[in-house]
Chain A
């Protein structure tokens, strides 16, 4: 079956540091890939997505590139802020039953703490 593996952390950085959170996946077919962010006590928010190989998703200074050859979708940000402290989830979308039915497979999440 499909699976997503991401570095579990926790990751602790100083403000303005460079961030990388690694994510690799195993899937049949050509899934879409996502990064979600969860702030304390809240639901998950879609951060960015990529739907095919070599696509780059970007949002709020974060970016990730869909690398089919390495089955990876690493999240990066050039300069993190304290407000980026959250849990980050990598996920892939698996189509089932034909039509427009999808289920997401999530990684276990990576806790990021950014100190001032």
Chain B
């Protein structure tokens, strides 16, 4: 069966510091991968998606970037965090049938 991992689970970072969040998927190959942010108030915002190694599409301009160095690895990064980057970050993968399966999330607090 397929599983999706995210780490770290919780992160507290100062403004201006760098960020690296990692997501890995097991038990499948060539998945589509997604990064979402969920701010307080529950709504989900799609940040990036990837259909293959090195292929990244950005949904909104922002302070973040994404990379996919391996088939089942998806990384969310920032060179300098802003207060507004705080939130709950969710990684997801999808099979060809279109539904998405989410990881446990990373709670990021920028102080």
Interface residues of A (CB under 8 A from B): 32, 34, 36, 38, 41-46, 49, 51, 87, 89, 93, 95, 97, 100-104, 106, 108-109, 111
Q: Are B42 and A103 in contact (CB under 8 A)?
A: no
Q: Are B90 and A44 in contact (CB under 8 A)?
A: yes
Q: Are A42 and B98 in contact (CB under 8 A)?
A: no
Q: Are B105 and A111 in contact (CB under 8 A)?
A: no
Contact among A36, A42, A106 for B104, CB-based, below 8 A: A42
Other than A32-B98, A42-B104, A46-B101, give 10 A-B pairs with Cβ distance below 8 A: A32-B97, A42-B105, A43-B90, A43-B104, A51-B97, A93-B98, A100-B95, A104-B46, A109-B42, A111-B42
Instruction: Give CA–CA (A109, B90) in the complex, Å.
Output: 15
Q: Are B43 and A43 in contact (CB under 8 A)?
A: no
Contact among A42, A43, A103 for B49, CB-based, below 8 A: A103
* 7 contacting pairs across A/B (C-beta < 8 A): A32-B97, A41-B105, A46-B99, A51-B97, A100-B98, A101-B32, A102-B100
